Amino acid sequence: MEEKDGIKVIKINVFQTAMTLGTYLGLYIILVYALMGLTLKYSALSLVALPLLLGIPVVAFFLIKRFRDANCKPFFPFPVSWIITILTFLFATVLSCMTVYLYLRFLDNGALAAGMMEQMDAIIIASDAAKQSLTDQAQIDQLQSNIDMFKSVITWFCSLSPSAMTKQIIQSSLVWGNILSLVIGIIATKRIRINR
């Protein structure tokens, strides 16, 4: 914060701030991706991985709020809050998706696809058992069409190359990042209070 002619001026290097916050958020997302991958082998980890996945927007909000409270005491306008948040998600996406690509390209050797296909087979066996208990033909047809759609999506995703899988993750991360950045930007905004 600087003072010019009695006016307080707050200077923020938006890109440097977003890169720093994006690095922290990206490391958290890498942890979430690693745990989500391990849930294919150890299903008990889903009790930890799912709350961590749902906690990504919460962690992003607390990173932005901590920056706001430390550097922008009097106010933090929505445009600045929104731009920092959207760039934080962008840099976090770049870091986490680069890690995913490197893992899929050099370390995975098809283990992720094999784990997904194994889980899909277990779900199909369980749904076939559930079909036996149904008596309504419309419900049986609906369940079978859902199973077929699920099977085709998993088979398609597992047939992708590492770069194509990473592109799908990048697209979904950017879409959700844009949506969440708008919400977090609104919540993290700090308005000027006029004392009367």
Instruction: Report yes or no on 53 lying in a domain.
Output: yes
pLDDT tens column, 83-123: 999 999 999 999 999 999 999 999 988 888 889 999 888 88
- In this prediction, residue 14 has a pLDDT band, given cuts at 50, 70 and 90, of confident
Instruction: Report yes or no on 174 lying in a domain.
Output: yes
Give, as one character, the DSSP assignment of residue 40.
Answer: T
**pLDDT over 70 (residue 153):** yes
Q: In this predicted model, which residue has the larger pLDDT, 41 or 135?
A: 41
Closest CA to 177 of 25, 62, 32: 25
Written as one letter, the residue type at 166 is: T
Instruction: Report yes or no on 24 lying in a domain.
Output: yes
Instruction: Report yes or no on 160 lying in a domain.
Output: yes
Instruction: Report yes or no on 7 lying in a domain.
Output: no
**pLDDT over 70 (residue 192):** no
Number of folded domains in the chain? 1
Question: Does residue 190 contact residue 75 with C-beta atoms inside 8 Å?
Answer: yes
| pLDDT for 135 | 78
Angle at 92 between CA 87 and CA 97, to 5 degrees: 130
**pLDDT over 60 (residue 60):** yes
Residues recorded for the chain: 196
Instruction: Report yes or no on 77 lying in a domain.
Output: yes
| pLDDT for 123 | 86
pLDDT tens column, 172-190: 999 999 999 999 999 988 7
- In this prediction, residue 49 has a pLDDT band, given cuts at 50, 70 and 90, of very high
Print the domain residue range for 93: 14-188
Instruction: Report yes or no on 56 lying in a domain.
Output: yes
| Residue bearing tokens 């308005």 | 191
What's the start-to-end Cα distance of the chain, in Å? 24
Rounded to the nearest 10 degrees, the angle between the axes of helix 56-71 and helix 46-54 is: 40
- In this prediction, residue 75 has a pLDDT band, given cuts at 50, 70 and 90, of confident
Overall pTM surpassing 0.75 (yes/no) = yes
Give CA–CA dist 73/120, Å, rounded: 51
| pLDDT for 193 | 62
Average pLDDT over residues 118-135: 84
Instruction: Report yes or no on 195 lying in a domain.
Output: no
